[in-house]
Amino acid sequence: MLRAITRPVVLIPIIVVVLLAAAGMWFWVRAGQSTEITTGSALAQYGAPGGRTVAGPQAGVWTYDAHGSETVGLGPVKVTRDLPPEARMVVRPAGSGYWRSLAFSEEHVERTRLAVSDAGTRAVERSTKVTVSGLGRTDSVDLVPPPLIYPRAIAVGDQWRQRYVLRDLHVDARVRVTSRDVVVVNGTRVPVVVIRTSGEITGPTPGHRDDTEWYAPSLGLPVRLVITMTVSGTASLRMSADLTLTSTEPVN
Protein backbone atom coordinates (compact mmCIF):
# COMPACT_ATOMS: atom_id res chain seq x y z
CA MET A 1 0.00 0.00 0.00
CA LEU A 2 2.83 2.40 0.82
CA ARG A 3 4.37 1.81 -2.59
CA ALA A 4 1.04 2.49 -4.31
CA ILE A 5 0.76 5.78 -2.45
CA THR A 6 4.33 7.05 -2.81
CA ARG A 7 4.77 6.36 -6.55
CA PRO A 8 2.41 9.12 -7.81
CA VAL A 9 3.85 11.51 -5.21
CA VAL A 10 7.30 11.03 -6.77
CA LEU A 11 5.94 11.36 -10.31
CA ILE A 12 4.10 14.64 -9.75
CA PRO A 13 7.21 16.90 -9.54
CA ILE A 14 8.74 15.08 -12.51
CA ILE A 15 5.60 15.76 -14.57
CA VAL A 16 5.63 19.40 -13.50
CA VAL A 17 9.27 19.77 -14.59
CA VAL A 18 8.52 18.19 -17.96
CA LEU A 19 5.49 20.45 -18.48
CA LEU A 20 7.46 23.56 -17.53
CA ALA A 21 10.28 22.58 -19.89
CA ALA A 22 7.80 22.02 -22.71
CA ALA A 23 6.10 25.35 -21.99
CA GLY A 24 9.47 27.10 -21.94
CA MET A 25 10.45 25.53 -25.25
CA TRP A 26 7.10 26.53 -26.79
CA PHE A 27 7.52 30.09 -25.50
CA TRP A 28 11.08 30.33 -26.83
CA VAL A 29 10.15 28.96 -30.27
CA ARG A 30 7.16 31.30 -30.51
CA ALA A 31 9.26 34.24 -29.29
CA GLY A 32 11.64 33.78 -32.22
CA GLN A 33 8.89 34.08 -34.82
CA SER A 34 7.20 37.08 -36.42
CA THR A 35 3.60 36.83 -37.60
CA GLU A 36 2.76 38.37 -40.95
CA ILE A 37 -0.15 40.79 -40.74
CA THR A 38 -2.72 40.16 -43.47
CA THR A 39 -4.56 42.87 -45.40
CA GLY A 40 -7.81 41.93 -43.66
CA SER A 41 -6.22 42.03 -40.24
CA ALA A 42 -4.58 45.37 -40.99
CA LEU A 43 -7.93 46.85 -42.04
CA ALA A 44 -9.69 45.43 -39.00
CA GLN A 45 -7.09 46.65 -36.52
CA TYR A 46 -6.19 50.06 -37.92
CA GLY A 47 -9.17 50.98 -40.11
CA ALA A 48 -8.82 52.47 -43.57
CA PRO A 49 -11.98 54.01 -45.02
CA GLY A 50 -11.75 54.68 -48.75
CA GLY A 51 -10.92 57.99 -50.36
CA ARG A 52 -7.97 60.32 -50.34
CA THR A 53 -6.63 62.02 -47.26
CA VAL A 54 -6.20 65.78 -47.02
CA ALA A 55 -3.13 66.54 -49.19
CA GLY A 56 -1.85 63.07 -48.42
CA PRO A 57 -1.77 59.51 -49.75
CA GLN A 58 -4.81 57.51 -50.73
CA ALA A 59 -6.40 55.70 -47.80
CA GLY A 60 -6.15 51.93 -47.67
CA VAL A 61 -3.63 49.16 -47.13
CA TRP A 62 -0.32 49.41 -48.97
CA THR A 63 1.84 46.28 -49.18
CA TYR A 64 5.64 46.23 -49.09
CA ASP A 65 8.06 43.41 -49.82
CA ALA A 66 10.14 43.17 -46.66
CA HIS A 67 13.60 41.92 -45.79
CA GLY A 68 15.34 42.16 -42.46
CA SER A 69 15.37 41.08 -38.86
CA GLU A 70 15.07 42.43 -35.34
CA THR A 71 16.41 41.54 -31.91
CA VAL A 72 14.13 42.30 -28.97
CA GLY A 73 15.51 42.19 -25.45
CA LEU A 74 14.33 42.46 -21.88
CA GLY A 75 17.35 42.78 -19.63
CA PRO A 76 19.90 40.08 -20.53
CA VAL A 77 17.34 37.94 -22.40
CA LYS A 78 17.26 38.61 -26.16
CA VAL A 79 15.29 37.09 -29.03
CA THR A 80 16.18 37.50 -32.71
CA ARG A 81 13.51 37.00 -35.37
CA ASP A 82 13.24 37.55 -39.11
CA LEU A 83 10.65 39.98 -40.42
CA PRO A 84 7.78 38.44 -42.42
CA PRO A 85 8.16 38.68 -46.24
CA GLU A 86 5.46 41.35 -46.46
CA ALA A 87 4.71 44.43 -44.36
CA ARG A 88 1.52 46.54 -44.49
CA MET A 89 1.13 50.28 -44.24
CA VAL A 90 -2.39 51.41 -43.40
CA VAL A 91 -3.37 54.97 -44.27
CA ARG A 92 -6.47 56.42 -42.62
CA PRO A 93 -7.78 60.01 -42.82
CA ALA A 94 -7.60 61.97 -39.55
CA GLY A 95 -8.80 65.57 -39.49
CA SER A 96 -6.43 67.79 -41.44
CA GLY A 97 -4.08 64.89 -42.01
CA TYR A 98 -3.88 61.13 -41.71
CA TRP A 99 -2.69 58.14 -39.71
CA ARG A 100 0.12 56.07 -41.20
CA SER A 101 0.40 52.67 -39.51
CA LEU A 102 3.41 50.62 -40.56
CA ALA A 103 3.01 46.99 -39.49
CA PHE A 104 6.27 45.10 -39.89
CA SER A 105 4.42 42.19 -38.28
CA GLU A 106 1.62 41.54 -35.80
CA GLU A 107 4.27 41.93 -33.10
CA HIS A 108 5.82 45.21 -34.30
CA VAL A 109 3.73 48.17 -35.44
CA GLU A 110 4.72 51.85 -35.70
CA ARG A 111 1.84 54.31 -36.08
CA THR A 112 2.21 58.03 -36.77
CA ARG A 113 -0.49 60.68 -37.01
CA LEU A 114 0.50 63.37 -39.50
CA ALA A 115 -0.95 66.87 -39.83
CA VAL A 116 -0.86 68.68 -43.16
CA SER A 117 -0.64 72.49 -43.48
CA ASP A 118 0.66 75.09 -45.93
CA ALA A 119 4.12 74.66 -44.39
CA GLY A 120 4.20 70.91 -44.99
CA THR A 121 3.53 67.66 -43.15
CA ARG A 122 4.37 67.23 -39.48
CA ALA A 123 4.21 64.24 -37.12
CA VAL A 124 2.00 65.04 -34.13
CA GLU A 125 1.45 61.67 -32.44
CA ARG A 126 3.21 58.32 -32.43
CA SER A 127 2.25 54.88 -31.18
CA THR A 128 4.71 51.97 -31.05
CA LYS A 129 3.85 48.34 -30.34
CA VAL A 130 6.56 45.71 -29.79
CA THR A 131 5.65 42.33 -28.30
CA VAL A 132 7.25 38.92 -27.80
CA SER A 133 4.93 35.91 -27.55
CA GLY A 134 2.07 38.28 -26.86
CA LEU A 135 3.93 40.02 -24.06
CA GLY A 136 4.98 43.63 -24.41
CA ARG A 137 3.51 47.07 -24.55
CA THR A 138 2.07 49.78 -26.75
CA ASP A 139 3.07 53.38 -26.11
CA SER A 140 1.15 56.32 -27.58
CA VAL A 141 2.57 59.80 -27.11
CA ASP A 142 2.43 63.31 -28.58
CA LEU A 143 5.55 64.67 -30.29
CA VAL A 144 6.47 68.08 -28.82
CA PRO A 145 7.01 70.18 -30.85
CA PRO A 146 5.70 68.29 -33.93
CA PRO A 147 8.69 67.69 -36.25
CA LEU A 148 8.58 68.46 -39.97
CA ILE A 149 8.45 65.27 -42.04
CA TYR A 150 7.87 66.58 -45.59
CA PRO A 151 8.11 70.24 -46.69
CA ARG A 152 5.27 71.38 -48.96
CA ALA A 153 7.61 71.88 -51.93
CA ILE A 154 10.32 69.31 -51.37
CA ALA A 155 13.54 69.68 -53.39
CA VAL A 156 17.03 68.23 -53.59
CA GLY A 157 19.32 70.10 -51.24
CA ASP A 158 16.65 70.75 -48.59
CA GLN A 159 17.77 70.02 -45.06
CA TRP A 160 16.26 70.57 -41.65
CA ARG A 161 16.48 69.52 -38.00
CA GLN A 162 13.95 67.48 -36.05
CA ARG A 163 14.14 68.14 -32.31
CA TYR A 164 11.27 66.86 -30.22
CA VAL A 165 10.30 65.06 -27.02
CA LEU A 166 8.33 61.83 -26.63
CA ARG A 167 7.39 61.88 -22.96
CA ASP A 168 10.80 61.20 -21.32
CA LEU A 169 12.76 60.63 -24.53
CA HIS A 170 14.54 63.34 -26.53
CA VAL A 171 15.14 62.98 -30.26
CA ASP A 172 17.60 65.06 -32.27
CA ALA A 173 17.65 64.19 -35.98
CA ARG A 174 19.12 65.73 -39.12
CA VAL A 175 17.23 65.35 -42.40
CA ARG A 176 18.64 65.83 -45.91
CA VAL A 177 17.06 65.50 -49.36
CA THR A 178 20.02 64.08 -51.26
CA SER A 179 18.88 63.25 -54.80
CA ARG A 180 16.16 62.36 -57.29
CA ASP A 181 15.62 58.83 -58.53
CA VAL A 182 13.10 56.51 -60.16
CA VAL A 183 11.82 53.31 -58.54
CA VAL A 184 9.95 50.69 -60.57
CA VAL A 185 6.84 49.51 -58.71
CA ASN A 186 5.12 46.53 -60.34
CA GLY A 187 6.21 47.72 -63.78
CA THR A 188 5.43 51.41 -63.17
CA ARG A 189 8.26 53.95 -63.04
CA VAL A 190 7.70 56.19 -60.03
CA PRO A 191 9.76 59.41 -59.63
CA VAL A 192 11.06 59.87 -56.08
CA VAL A 193 13.26 62.06 -53.94
CA VAL A 194 15.73 60.38 -51.59
CA ILE A 195 15.45 61.56 -47.98
CA ARG A 196 18.02 60.57 -45.36
CA THR A 197 17.30 60.98 -41.66
CA SER A 198 19.82 60.30 -38.90
CA GLY A 199 18.62 60.67 -35.32
CA GLU A 200 19.96 60.31 -31.79
CA ILE A 201 17.67 59.27 -28.94
CA THR A 202 18.51 60.15 -25.33
CA GLY A 203 16.68 59.20 -22.15
CA PRO A 204 15.81 55.93 -20.38
CA THR A 205 16.09 53.95 -23.65
CA PRO A 206 18.85 55.71 -25.63
CA GLY A 207 19.66 54.79 -29.20
CA HIS A 208 20.21 55.74 -32.80
CA ARG A 209 18.05 55.43 -35.91
CA ASP A 210 18.83 55.94 -39.61
CA ASP A 211 16.08 56.08 -42.24
CA THR A 212 16.58 56.32 -46.00
CA GLU A 213 13.32 56.97 -47.78
CA TRP A 214 12.59 56.96 -51.51
CA TYR A 215 9.59 59.27 -51.23
CA ALA A 216 7.11 59.59 -54.12
CA PRO A 217 5.32 62.99 -54.03
CA SER A 218 2.75 61.63 -56.50
CA LEU A 219 1.71 58.92 -53.99
CA GLY A 220 2.46 60.78 -50.77
CA LEU A 221 4.33 57.70 -49.51
CA PRO A 222 7.76 56.11 -49.56
CA VAL A 223 8.05 53.49 -52.30
CA ARG A 224 11.16 52.17 -50.59
CA LEU A 225 12.24 52.50 -46.98
CA VAL A 226 15.48 51.30 -45.36
CA ILE A 227 15.69 51.46 -41.56
CA THR A 228 18.48 50.62 -39.12
CA MET A 229 17.78 51.18 -35.45
CA THR A 230 19.36 50.39 -32.10
CA VAL A 231 17.66 51.15 -28.79
CA SER A 232 19.20 50.05 -25.48
CA GLY A 233 18.14 50.04 -21.86
CA THR A 234 16.08 47.61 -19.80
CA ALA A 235 13.99 47.01 -22.92
CA SER A 236 16.11 46.94 -26.08
CA LEU A 237 15.51 46.71 -29.81
CA ARG A 238 17.85 46.34 -32.75
CA MET A 239 16.34 46.26 -36.24
CA SER A 240 17.38 46.29 -39.87
CA ALA A 241 14.61 46.50 -42.48
CA ASP A 242 14.34 47.08 -46.23
CA LEU A 243 10.80 47.63 -47.57
CA THR A 244 9.73 48.07 -51.21
CA LEU A 245 6.20 48.95 -52.32
CA THR A 246 4.49 46.28 -54.44
CA SER A 247 1.71 48.35 -56.08
CA THR A 248 0.85 51.98 -56.79
CA GLU A 249 -2.74 51.34 -55.61
CA PRO A 250 -3.86 50.41 -52.08
CA VAL A 251 -6.46 47.84 -51.07
CA ASN A 252 -9.56 49.24 -49.34
The string of pLDDT tens digits covering residues 164-217 is 998 899 999 999 999 999 999 999 999 999 999 999 999 998 999 999 999 999
Asked if 43 and 61 touch (Cβ cutoff 8 Å), the reply is yes
Q: Which pLDDT tens digit goes with each residue over 73-128?
A: 877 888 999 999 999 999 999 888 999 999 999 999 999 999 999 889 999 999 99
The answer on 15 and 45 residing in a single domain is no
The answer on 20 and 86 residing in a single domain is no
Identify whether 85 is part of a domain: yes
The total number of structural domains in the chain stands at: 2
Q: How far apart are CA 146 and CA 184, in angstroms?
A: 32
The answer on 135 and 148 residing in a single domain is yes
Q: How far apart are CA 189 and CA 213, in angstroms?
A: 16
Identify whether 250 is part of a domain: no
Asked if 250 and 91 touch (Cβ cutoff 8 Å), the reply is yes
> If 0-12 CB within 10 Å is exposed, 13-18 middle and 19+ buried, where does residue 6 land?
exposed
The answer on 136 and 216 residing in a single domain is yes
Q: Pick the more confident residue, 4 or 125.
A: 125
Structural domain for 70, as ranges: 32-245
Residue of 143, 74, 139, 65 lying closest to 109 (CA atoms): 139
Q: Please give the C-alpha separations between residue 41 and each of 18, 46, 105, 138, in angstroms, as whole numbers.
A: 36, 8, 11, 18
User: Does residue 51 carry a pLDDT above 90?
Assistant: no
Strand partners, 111: 101, 127
Query: pTM for the whole thing?
Result: 0.85
Asked if 241 and 233 touch (Cβ cutoff 8 Å), the reply is no
